[in-house]
A and B are shown apart, each in its own frame.
Chain A
């Protein structure tokens, strides 16, 4: 253990703000990348499921409809 107390650990001998700013940024950005990657995957799977879903039969289909144009941003 390199520190005598918890407050000494937080203070980091006066370098606390520098050390903790770095660790905060590191975990924040890694978290964002991981969250974003997981979300992208869910979006793509949902997209493919919609594409693979069978077309509704003629009488279920609304008479007028919008056409969904899917374009990938990747």
Chain B
């Protein structure tokens, strides 16, 4: 058991696994995302209340969903960093924080543009929108803190603490539409109930969520590999690998 755990934490081992997985993640992710988007844009029926503006959902929900999942994954990695001092966990946190920030921004942007024709306003300071904005600032904070401390170990620990403190925000985002009055509609997918929309709408939405998930997986592998190459430059396997890439 512990051997597997140590192997999992080894940057060299991860580098190899990531290289094998990446082409599959990219191809499957792009295919699913494009299927979901084309289906949603062209073939899904119009919404009886919102007309065609609702078609923004096919990128809004995936972005918002990923923005929160990425933060939860970062929090798990941060815990692993603090408890087991695993290098790879910190590599994950620093590598994916900018991706999380972009996804959060996309969720906010598409939400604002969707809000204009639907609610009549770009922005309201309600719980859902404000807590998402806080999530964006948390991502910025993680990036800034990581860049500000040059010592690898103290940087990893400080970032991990910040990520874990910020995780309080996640349940607030999740339940904000139930705890407070808001213009925002409730969650589309729930584990316990059937979606409140017809299958011609939720199937493409599910496809685009899965597709963006896989593309995030590809991006995470790519960015983690880059961080590993930069950090492990002194080890022999990185030197050999870099040389093998042609001079």
Chain A residues within CB distance 8 Å of chain B? 1-3, 9, 12-15, 18-19, 21-23, 25-26, 29-30, 32-34, 37-38, 40-41, 44-45, 47-49, 51-53, 72-74
Across the two chains, which residue of chain A brings its CB closest to B225?
A41
Judging by beta carbons under 8 Å apart, are A45 and B110 in contact?
Answer: no
Q: How far is the CA of A14 from the CA of B50 in the complex (A)?
A: 11
**A contact face: mostly helix, strand, loop, or mixed:** helix
Q: 5 tightest CB-CB pairs across the interface, nearest first?
A: A15-B53, A12-B52, A22-B110, A41-B226, A48-B242
- B113 contact set on A, CB distance < 8 A: 18, 21-22
- B46 contact set on A, CB distance < 8 A: 2, 13
Q: Which of B69-77, B98-106, B190-198 contacts A (4 or more CB under 8 A)?
A: B98-106
Query: Cβ of B24 < 8 Å from any Cβ of A?
Result: no
Q: Which of B55-63, B123-131, B181-189 contacts A (4 or more CB under 8 A)?
A: B55-63
- Known contacts: A22-B59, A44-B230. The answer to whether A15 contacts B42 by CB under 8 A is no
Q: How far is the CA of A25 from the CA of B116 in the complex (A)?
A: 16
Q: How far is the CA of A25 from the CA of B147 in the complex (A)?
A: 27
Q: How far is the CA of A47 from the CA of B63 in the complex (A)?
A: 34
Query: Cβ of B6 < 8 Å from any Cβ of A?
Result: no
Query: Cβ of B68 < 8 Å from any Cβ of A?
Result: no
Query: Cβ of B223 < 8 Å from any Cβ of A?
Result: yes
13 additional contacts (CB under 8 A) given A33-B98, A38-B222, A48-B233? A12-B52, A14-B51, A15-B51, A19-B52, A25-B109, A25-B110, A26-B63, A30-B102, A34-B219, A37-B222, A40-B223, A41-B222, A41-B225
Task: Choose from A2, A23, A33 the contact partner of B43 (Cβ within 8 Å).
Answer: A2
**B contact face: mostly helix, strand, loop, or mixed:** helix
Q: How far is the CA of A21 from the CA of B227 in the complex (A)?
A: 33
- B223 contact set on A, CB distance < 8 A: 37, 40
- A13 contact set on B, CB distance < 8 A: 46, 51-52
Among B74-117, those with CB < 8 Å from A are 94, 98-99, 102, 105-106, 109-110, 113-114, 116-117
- B133 contact set on A, CB distance < 8 A: none
- A74 contact set on B, CB distance < 8 A: 94, 147, 227, 230
Q: How far is the CB of B174 from chain A (nearest CB, A)?
A: 23
Q: How far is the CB of B34 from chain A (nearest CB, A)?
A: 11
- Known contacts: A26-B63, A73-B147. The answer to whether A15 contacts B52 by CB under 8 A is yes
Task: Choose from A29, A38, A52 the contact partner of B106 (Cβ within 8 Å).
Answer: A29
Judging by beta carbons under 8 Å apart, are B222 and A72 in contact?
Answer: no
Query: Cβ of B23 < 8 Å from any Cβ of A?
Result: no
Q: How far is the CB of B158 from chain A (nearest CB, A)?
A: 15
Query: Cβ of B20 < 8 Å from any Cβ of A?
Result: no
Judging by beta carbons under 8 Å apart, are B45 and A49 in contact?
Answer: no
Query: Cβ of B3 < 8 Å from any Cβ of A?
Result: no
